[in-house]
């Protein structure tokens, strides 16, 4: 037999499913015991007192929950200003209408408290006003705007009482709530979820910044508004009806929450909110964590329980991890969600922006806001409006061209390609992206090609206030694409008030080719090179070659060809580097012969001198020249850092990589290489931390997993190195570099059979095509077969293997570093470098 408190809880929860005016009759029919009814009536009165009308889902299209008609009909004019268009929905305390503002001629939403509710709860109107004032404090694109507070009095018909309606006018939103989206689709993929969460955190950051807690964040209070941009939504946090001012005095009683008064929705409340403890921004962070949990798993923790049991479990039981519900959930998302849901508020993220930063790979440091840099800009990936994937090269290429053009301006900090392209397909809130990147301005645009015609739209947005600084649409022939790009670059420099010298203006309008066919082929080549896969690199070589056939003096195309050969020789060599790299060197030399001041050409020549000629001194000179010509060339800074590491100048190398990281903060390659440089410098704890930071951006990125494993091995944790390398191998199929590293890890961890099997696999690969002998040498090294090690390293020396330049610093070779044969190899490699330089 359940006790009375169980009866009271059940009856209280059942009554909440009915409108307030029906509670008394419901209780009379449902419970014969007067003492229980009295207690439940008290609970319901307390609930109504601490609930608020603004918390209901304001914009949901709905039907009447009961037979009684709405308070107002279409055509009614309220407060001599608003004409009712239609009834939208009814909540626990009032009704929502779509209306026309007759003064401003704009659609609005009207939220109206029902007169009988105001009479039932004497403090209701006072609390309603307080909540409206709090909601008006928060002004942000991701927060529903509250306009004003109104009263309307009817002239009663004969025999009828007059009525006074109290309502608020607010932004009318068209779309669906996150709750409706989740009911429709079950769960949301992390790409879409990232855009939604970024905008929610921006809204919470704005609220917390003016001292307001939401206290009722849930999917029903998050609205998704369709935008003009393809596949993007504007996310709007609504219903600050339970908002609490952080400076609220405790004695007011507004913070009191007991089992009798659920101020909020139990399924989304923080433990401290349930227990009536002090609330902080971390309380809203907890609710955000529950929303994120539901977005990526499709369920809520403890979903099968009653609302009160959900609240009790929240206090007494740990929340099941998202991956225990769905193993496919991304590990970064899981770690962020788990941190948000820590029962101790001090151990959660302390600001909403930290949540977004970590999901975007920016780390979870203590920054509670963004400091926007002057004279800084992010050119966000232009949208391919055609919807044809074959045209992605064009929208991506124009984006990259504008980035490259503006990067020539020394006064302007331009976010690099790798970072901005992390946001491709997630451009719902450019202002929020700009804040994350800490830039002053963002450029957004679209590209559409129809036959020979090109439609390009561009808009420059001030990140600080969201204002459009400049916008333009261009409808031109494709042959005018160079002029359009120059116009955009010139407009940006003008609007940002950059005072350019005559030489800088000349540089800004410099064209590398006049041939539009060559330009299109070049864009396709760079599009493929950025993919870095074996097949795409080969395709890129073909596109660059064809671009050069169209314009024999196209310096940029020669640099692109050189980079493609160099990358292929390092990652996916199908013939020895001694065959591929001379082609790269010839292409880089051609680029510099046509344009001696081409930063890309000097960077290409530098990496060739490093990885093939094994002459770091010569490479260093090219890298210095490249960054002098183009200070924002992130890849040149990265390669320069690699060069310095090969020279064992680790402090300088780390500084150069950090500069590259600042220019391109979300670049997976740069962040991974920084971890590798820490490893080479024997700073293993920093290496492991940096690799984990990179994996927070992409948990499967092979190069970060590779350097993480090397760092584990160097610390004597060979067994821990195996899992990251297995994960890397799954993502970069049959890559010999990863196979060799995995074989070495198995061998040093005592897994001799596994290592021998991988050695056989590499030998089989080498029989079908070229495989780097360094990888074979590494497995032999782990197995202790030093004779085989030096046989393979001798072959690597002859083949001019790129990794050979790192043998001096790779910790895996420490065990043979004092062997005279190893010293002789390093000496001869240095001699080859010196002779090639001379």
Active site residues: 216
Structure tokens at 480: 């005018």
- What is the CA angle 365-371-372, rounded to 5? 135
CB-based contact 102:82 (threshold 8 Å): yes
146 strand-pairing partners = 170
Residue 333 near residue 324 (C-beta atoms within 8 A): no
Q: How far is CA 837 from the centre of its chain?
A: 44
Tokens for 39, please give them. 């207690």
Q: Using DSSP, state whether 461 is helix, strand or coil.
A: strand
Pairing of strands 439-450, 383-384: parallel
Alpha-carbon distance of 7 to 791, in angstroms, equals 82
CB 55 within 8 A of CB 221: yes
Q: Are 23 and 11 in contact (CB under 8 A)?
A: no
Structure-block tokens of residue 668 = 């997976």
CA distances (Å), 154 to each of 102, 165, 188, 424, in order? 18, 8, 47, 54
Residue (of 352, 300, 356, 297) closest to 330 by Cα position: 297
Per-position b or e across 267-286, b if 16+ CB within 10 A of its CB: bbbbbbbbeeeebbbbbbbb
DSSP string, 337-352: HHHHT-SSGGGS-SSH
Say whether 255 sits in a helix, a strand or coil. Answer: coil
- Distance between CA atoms of 683 and 715, rounded to whole angstroms? 10
Q: Which of 530, 486, 477 is nearest to 509 (CA)?
A: 486
- CA-wise closest residue to 44 among 78, 79, 9: 9
Instruction: For 467-557, list the strands marked E by DSSP.
Output: 468-477
- SS3 of residue 692 by DSSP: helix
Q: Which long-range contacts (CB under 8 A, 24 or more apart) does 34-38 make?
A: 35/4, 36/4, 36/7, 36/8, 36/11, 37/11
Return the biggest CA–CA distance within the chain. Answer: 112
From CA 322, how far away is CA 410, in angstroms rounded? 46
Distance CA 447, CA 449 (A): 7
Which residues in 184-230 belong to E strands, given as ranges? 212-213, 222-226
Please tell me what DSSP assigns to residue 804.
G
Q: What is the DSSP string of 45-58?
A: HHHHHH--GGGS-T
Rounded distance between C-alpha atoms, residue 600 and residue 635, angstroms: 9
Are residues 512 and 554 in contact, defined by beta-carbon separation less than 8 angstroms? yes
Burial 739-750, CB ≥16 within 10 A → b, else e:
bbbbbbbbbbbe
Structure tokens at 744: 């070495």
Taking phi first (over 0 means left), then psi (-120 to 50 degrees means alpha), and beta for anything else, what does residue 276 get?
A: left
């Amino acid at each position: 037999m359940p006790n009375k408190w169980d009866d009271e809880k059940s009856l209280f929860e059942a009554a909440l499913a009915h409108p307030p005016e029906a509670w008394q009759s419901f209780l009379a029919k449902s419970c014969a015991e007067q003492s229980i009814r009295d207690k439940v009536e008290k609970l319901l009165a307390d609930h109504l007192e601490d609930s608020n009308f603004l918390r209901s889902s304001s914009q949901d299209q709905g039907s009447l929950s009961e037979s009684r008609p709405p308070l107002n009909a279409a055509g009614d004019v309220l407060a001599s200003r608003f004409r009712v268009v239609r009834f939208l929905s009814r909540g626990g305390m009032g009704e929502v209408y779509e209306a026309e503002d007759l003064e401003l001629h704009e659609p609005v939403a009207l939220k109206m408290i029902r007169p009988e509710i105001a009479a039932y709860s004497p403090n209701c109107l006072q609390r309603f006003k307080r909540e409206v004032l709090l909601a008006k404090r928060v002004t942000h694109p991701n927060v529903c705007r509250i306009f004003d507070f109104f009263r309307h009095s009817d002239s009663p018909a004969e025999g009828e009482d007059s009525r006074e309606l109290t309502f608020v006018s607010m932004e009318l939103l068209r779309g669906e709530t996150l709750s409706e989206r989740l009911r429709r689709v079950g769960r949301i993929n992390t790409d879409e979820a990232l855009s939604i969460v970024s905008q929610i955190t921006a809204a919470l950051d704005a609220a917390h910044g003016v001292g307001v807690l939401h206290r009722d964040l849930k999917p029903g209070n998050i609205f998704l508004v369709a935008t003009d941009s393809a596949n993007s939504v504007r996310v709007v946090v609504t219903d600050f009806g339970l908002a609490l001012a952080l400076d609220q005095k405790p004695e007011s009683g507004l913070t009191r929450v007991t089992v009798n008064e659920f101020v909020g929705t139990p399924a989304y409340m923080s433990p401290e909110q349930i227990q009536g403890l002090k609330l902080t921004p971390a309380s809203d962070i907890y609710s955000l964590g529950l929303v994120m949990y539901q977005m990526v798993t499709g369920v809520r923790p403890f979903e099968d329980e009653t609302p009160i049991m959900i609240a009790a479990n929240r206090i007494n039981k740990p929340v099941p991890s998202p991956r225990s519900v769905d193993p496919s959930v991304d590990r970064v998302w899981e770690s962020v969600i788990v941190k948000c849901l820590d029962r101790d508020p001090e151990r959660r993220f302390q600001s909403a922006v930290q949540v977004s930063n970590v999901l975007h790979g920016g780390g979870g440091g203590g920054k509670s806001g963004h400091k926007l840099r002057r004279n800084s800009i992010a050119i966000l990936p232009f949208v391919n409006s055609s919807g044809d994937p074959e045209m992605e090269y064009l929208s991506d290429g124009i984006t990259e061209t504008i980035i490259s053009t503006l990067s020539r301006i020394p006064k302007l900090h331009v976010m690099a390609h790798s970072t901005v392209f992390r946001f491709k397909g997630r451009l719902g809130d450019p202002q929020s992206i700009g804040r994350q990147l800490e830039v002053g301005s963002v450029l957004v645009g679209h590209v559409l090609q129809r036959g020979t015609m090109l439609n390009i739209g561009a808009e420059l947005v001030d990140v600080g206030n969201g204002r459009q600084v400049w916008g333009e649409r261009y409808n031109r022939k494709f042959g005018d694409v160079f002029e359009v790009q120059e116009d955009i670059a010139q407009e940006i420099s003008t609007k940002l008030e950059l005072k350019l010298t005559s030489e800088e203006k000349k540089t800004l309008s410099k064209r590398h080719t006049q041939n539009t066919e060559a330009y299109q082929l070049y864009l396709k080549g760079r599009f493929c090179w950025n993919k870095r896969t074996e097949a795409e690199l080969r395709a890129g070589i073909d596109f660059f070659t064809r671009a050069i056939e169209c314009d024999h003096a196209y310096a940029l195309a020669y640099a692109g060809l050189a980079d493609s050969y160099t990358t292929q020789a390092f990652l996916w060599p199908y013939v020895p580097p001694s065959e591929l790299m001379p082609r790269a060197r010839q292409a880089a030399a051609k680029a510099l012969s046509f344009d001696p001041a081409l930063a890309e050409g000097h960077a290409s020549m530098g990496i060739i001198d490093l990885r093939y000629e094994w002459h770091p001194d010569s490479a260093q000179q090219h890298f210095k020249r490249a960054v002098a010509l183009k200070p924002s060339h992130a890849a040149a800074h990265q390669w320069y850092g690699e060069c310095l590491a090969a020279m064992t100048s680790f402090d300088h190398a780390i500084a150069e990589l950090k500069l590259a990281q600042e220019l391109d903060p979300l670049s997976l390659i740069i962040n991974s290489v920084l971890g590798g440089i820490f490893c080479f410098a024997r700073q293993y704890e920093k290496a492991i931390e940096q690799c984990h930071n990179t994996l927070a951006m992409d948990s499967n990125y092979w190069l970060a997993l590779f350097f993480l494993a090397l760092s584990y091995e160097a610390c004597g944790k060979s067994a821990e190195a195996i899992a990251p390398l297995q994960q890397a191998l799954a993502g970069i199929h049959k890559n010999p570099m990863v196979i060799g590293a995995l074989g070495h890890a198995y061998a040093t961890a005592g897994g001799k059979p596994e290592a021998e099997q991988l050695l056989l696999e590499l030998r089989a690969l080498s029989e079908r095509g070229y495989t780097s002998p360094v990888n074979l040498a590494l497995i032999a090294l782990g197995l202790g077969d030093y004779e085989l090690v030096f046989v393979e390293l001798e072959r690597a020396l002859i083949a001019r293997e790129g990794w050979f330049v790192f043998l001096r610093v790779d910790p895996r070779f420490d065990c043979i570093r004092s062997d005279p044969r190893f010293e002789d190899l390093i000496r001869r490699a240095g001699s080859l470098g010196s002779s090639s330089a001379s």
